[in-house]
Amino acid sequence: MTISGGCQCGSVRYELSAAPERVSICHCRDCQKSAGAPMVAWAMAAKESFRVTAGAAREVNSSGDSFRYFCGQCGTGLYYINETHLPGIVDVQLMTLDAPEAFTPGAQVQTAEQAPWMAHLSGIPAFKRYPGMD
Ligand SMILES: [Zn+2]
Ligand SMILES: [Zn+2]
């Protein structure tokens, strides 16, 4: 099994040789800030199953022993490594997979920092495209 993914501009490409061990959604403040988004979905994979196949991601030390990797061309956040808290693991940003719909998150973590309105999304109007363009 090969699972592929990459950044939005295509400069950085990666592959996983095995399915992610776990998929979860993180609501922590670091994820919010680095993604500029309310949450990030992560696919946790064994480090030996992961390899970058094109380009090279840039590294940023986001806090403590946390390293986030992103495309230096287009800014897409790609993966995360923390050898202290997650030894042997690469956390891949789920939505950068070529077929992210193949995996479903099984848990939400760090909900202590979640945006207060996140729990109520199903209660606000939703449009397939934009209002009036459905
Ligand atoms: Zn890119
Ligand atoms: Zn997080």
- Residue 111's Cβ-count burial label (10 Å; 0-12, 13-18, 19+) is middle
* pLDDT of res. 5: 98
Q: How does pLDDT run across 61-106, given as a tens digit for each residue?
A: 988 999 999 999 999 999 999 999 999 999 999 999 999 999 999 9
For residue 85, the ligand closest to its alpha carbon is 2
**Averaged over 52-69, what is the pLDDT?**
95
* pLDDT of res. 134: 63
pTM here is 0.94
CA of 134 to the centre of ligand 2 (A): 33
30: helix, strand or coil: helix
CA of 45 to the centre of ligand 2 (A): 16
* pLDDT of res. 42: 98
Confidence of residue 1 (pLDDT cuts 50, 70, 90): confident
Q: Rounded distance, CA 54 to CA 25, Å?
A: 27
Beta bridge pairs of residue 23: 43
DSSP codes, 55-90: S--EEEEEETTEEEEE-TTT--EEEEE-TTTSTTEE
